[in-house]
Structure 1
Amino acid sequence: MPPAARPATLIPRAIGRLLALIAALSLCVQPAAAQSVLRDAETEALFRDASAPIFRAAGFNPQAIDLVLLNDGSINAFVAGGQAIYIHSGLVGAADDVNELQGVIAHELGHITGGHIVRFDEGLKPATGITVLSLLLGGLAAAAGSAEAAMGVFMAGQQAAMGKFLAFSRAQESSADAAGAKFLADAGISGRGSIEFFKKLQNLEYRYGYSARSNPDAEFYRTHPMTADRLATLLDTYQQDPAWNKPSPPDLQARFLRVKAKLYGYLADPQDTLRAYPEYLTDVPARYARAYAFHKDAYPDKALAESRALIASDPDNPYFLELEGQILLESGRPAEAIAPLRKAVALTDNAPLIATTLGHALIATDDQANYAEAEKVLRAAIVRDKENPFAWYQLGVVYEARGDSARARLASAEQQLMTGQIPAALRSAEAAESALPKGTPDWLRAQDIAMSARAMMERQRRSR
């Protein structure tokens, strides 16, 4: 390549680096699209009860913040827009005590109260400014004929920009740590679990060589402060709190261990579950995990034996009853599933996810006599949990079976919009709108869905 041509290539290349930097920084506050949401009535009830005193201590209505479980094996939690805390399944698996989960929730709540997602631009703008300045200075150097000097300026600017943003991110994490400690103290909850969880993170850092001792520059490249520094600060704060030696409520801890085992049994390979929870273990978590492992491995009789042992130990536990109903339903025995599911729905005051499973069982019997009850429980589920695509799908099946095609199309449109099937949602909504009585609530809802679908399709078209 002729020497005179080299400076001209530097600016486009550096602009590409700038765009990559901005994209990388913006990803810090966005959940990964590949992560799927896990919905389970028992887990969501545990999350609500474990977090409620923390939210109240921070001045929030416990119902105002969503706790969302993601199918992701990494040990992580984050907030991303609105008032929602996302918790990875790997974090639940790594925790040994519900108090550790509460410590994580308190920390993430600190990000919400600090407005850290809203204030993301405060960290990004200075970093971008430094990078743009380095482009200008590098451009001048390139114009003067010094390609090497130009590249040096570009690279130094990118380094400074990243350092500026990461320092901002570390400051936010320290702020969330302090806020979380205050929320736990005000709620009368020990910070011991928070400390124990930080020790787990510190062990991971040592395992992967991220300690300051092994890498003096490690802290510069981190979004979070070094765990050792966080531990030192928080340990002193928590040990002075009157709740430091307060144990987790036994019932809450027992529920946490059940959920942890249930999640393991649901997500892990059945053989791994049976190794982790061998058949000589007869405690509740072990039976829970094995029931899911046997069910996944197509051994319904073994799965039912575990679920019935659980019910024998606690006949009014709605989640044990839900498990038995689910095994029966998915093993092709929907009529037998109805009784335990009915009881589970009654015991949980119509928990929407369990009610949806009952509606499914009633429809799966192919008995028209059960359809009226199915419609009732499914409509009740949707009133309490509109973001339930499977409930909408099942409701559409009921409407279609009784010849109400217009409302069946409307239910399909709701389900398709939630699951990202935008063109299908538009078609279903338009079909429902044309068939429903004009001016009725259902007709207006069909209009709303159609307009939302058109707007989404237009945004997608423009982005392409």
Structure 2
Amino acid sequence: MLLSLSFAFAMQPAAAQSILRDAETEALFHEMSKPLIEAAGLSPDNVQVVLIHDGSINAFVAGGQVVYVHSGLIAAAESANEVQGVIAHELGHITGGHVLRFNEGVKMATGIMILSMVLGAAALAAGSGDAGMGIIAAGQQAAMGKFLAFTRTQESSADQAGASFLTKAGISGKGSLSFFKKLQNQEFRYAIPQEDSYARTHPLTGERIQALEQVYHSDPAWEKPSDPALEARFQRVKAKLAGFVDDPKRTLALYPETNKTVPARYARAYAWHKTAFPEKALAEVDSLLKTQPNDPYFLELRGQVLLESGRPEEALESLRQAVRYAPNEPLISSLLGHALIATEKPDNFIEAKSVLKAAIGRDNSNPFAWYQLGIVYDREGDHGRAALATAERYNLENQPRLALANAEQALQSIPTGSSDWIRAQDIAMVSRTAVETEKRKGSDGVR
């Protein structure tokens, strides 16, 4: 821990990693985290839980009110309750302001190191070479020890805060302890020393478990069972994610065809789709829809398989139904917009424009939706707004040069002073600053 896909899954670049976006997963994260966020005194509207495509068992916060969860953590978790324990811990980092206070630890360590270098240099100047080098080395060791102690304190603080949020929310801490024991087993497996936490950023996992057991065992919610419906949804999302990110052979081994459960059929549908067996994928989805014909996420997947198999016209009915049953899911609406455009029928472009604008109105941080809307504007001959939509896309994808070029093109075509013109001006200003910063960094590297 640092401070520690739509369509139906889709990847969105995020620095060196990729964000996985999926309507069903995000809805589940929201429901799982909402009582914890409220218990932490934060607003559920302002806190996000974001899924990162990374196979390691990890979660972190990196500033703001965003909790990042690795896909590997979801794969390792056995229950929604375990993930809630992780989210509670990360909320402890947020409420503790640990990212903001990180520089305090760096500053303390740096102060010790500078002092040791000054004293060491003085000893060297006086002719005591060995003593001088010893002072510098000892100072470096002390500085690192001070910094690691600082991060361990933050981790312990986040553990206790997370436990208090679980208690206040009336959620059992069994999942939290269970997940810590998984981490401890990983440490045993890779022979990570367990005797001394001095050289670690985190306290020993065994120490953390012992401290939390005292809290959780006395909590009235300790024996409270997790919501069965929530747990069932978690198993669906876990299987869905496995089908999307894992090698299909692995997915089919984990979820063989003899397994007729909902999660297994869900995972296999993704595996068959990835291996270009659309009929097998559709057979799995259709078997799911026989039991739950109005499930928007099954309908979404059916539409996705048809669309990505080159059958956009056939995908429309399933996607329209998915939007009908989940009208507030902009990621599903974006997929419908994509399918409408893919039919290449001019009559469908009017509906696509309406659907995509509504989707962006609910979630304007989806580069794919902006890309699709740009196609509609371009087909209409509205090249200024097509350029603006493209600028929005590149701005979200952190490509400032392309965002700047398209924003400047939009400014030349969109009526001056209009809301779209002002937005293009904002993107141009931000992108120009980013480009100049890149140039300065590049020239600094040359010198």
**TM superposition score normalised by structure 2:** 0.95
Specify the alignment match of 2:427 in structure 1: 449
Residue equivalent to 1:431: 409
Per-residue displacement from partner, 1:74-104 (whole Å, max 9, x unpaired)? 1111111111101011111110010000001
Partner of 2:365: 387
1:155 aligned partner = 137
Equivalent residue, structure 2, for 1:257? 235
Report the Cα distance in structure 1 between the residues aligned to 2:228 and 2:2, rounded to whole angstroms.
37
Instruction: Specify the alignment match of 1:105 in structure 2.
Output: 87
> 1:142 maps to which residue?
124
2:295: which partner in 1?
317
The whole-number CA distance in structure 2 between the counterparts of 1:100 and 1:318 is 26
Point out where structure 1 has 5 or more consecutive residues left out of the alignment.
Answer: 1-26
For 1:341-360, what aligned pairs fall within 5 Å after superposition? 341-360=319-338
The residue type paired with residue 450 of structure 1 is A
1:221 paired with 2:199, answer yes
2:108 corresponds to: 126
CA deviation string 1:411-432 (max 9, x = no partner)? 1111111112221211111111
Matched, 1:34 2:12: no
Match for residue 280 of structure 1? 258
Q: How does 1:32-71 map to 2 (within 5 A)?
A: 33-71=15-53
**1:11 corresponding residue in structure 2:** none
Moved over 4 A (4+): 27-32
Extract unaligned runs of 5+ from structure 2.
5-12, 443-447
Q: With structure 1 as the length reference, what TM-score do the two structures score? A: 0.91
Greater shift in the superposed pair: 399-408 or 141-150: 141-150
Moved more, 92-101 or 116-125: 116-125
Structure 2 partner of 1:362: 340
Distance in structure 1 (CA, Å) of the matches to 2:162 and 2:298: 34
Q: For 1:159 and 1:92, how far apart are their aligned partners in 2?
A: 37
- SS across alignment from 1:117: helix
Instruction: Trace 1:184-333 onto structure 2 (pairs within 5 A).
Output: 184-212=166-194, 216=195, 218-333=196-311
Q: Does 1:411 align with 2:393?
A: no
CA distance in 1, matches of 2:129, 2:370: 62
**Is the 2:2–2:59 contact (alpha carbons within 8 Å) kept by the matching residues of 1?**
no
**How far did 1:153 drift?**
1.8
**Alpha carbons 2:2, 2:60 under 8 Å: kept:** no
Identity %: 60
Quote the offset at 1:149 in angstroms: 2.6
Inter-partner Cα distance in structure 2 for 1:58 and 1:226: 25
- In 2: Cα distance, 1:390 partner to 1:133 partner: 52
Which residue is equivalent to 1:396? 374
User: Letter of the aligned partner of 1:370 in structure 2?
Assistant: N
CA gap 1:353/1:104 in 2 versus in 1, 3 angstroms: same
Could you say which residue in structure 1 is the equivalent of 2:350? 372
Shift of 1:63: 1.4
1:34-92 deviations in Å (ceiling 9; x for gaps):
22111011110000000111111122221110111101111111111111101011111
1:195-252 deviation per Cα after TM superposition (whole angstroms, max 9, x unaligned): 100110111111122242xxx4x41111111111111111121011111111111110
Change (3 A) 1:348 1:383: same
Structure 2 counterpart SS, 1:86:
strand
Instruction: Give 2:315's aligned residue.
Output: 337
Task: After TM superposition, give the deviation of residue 28 of structure 1 in Å.
Answer: 5.0
In 2: Cα distance, 1:199 partner to 1:438 partner: 61
Secondary structure class of the residue paired with 2:276: coil
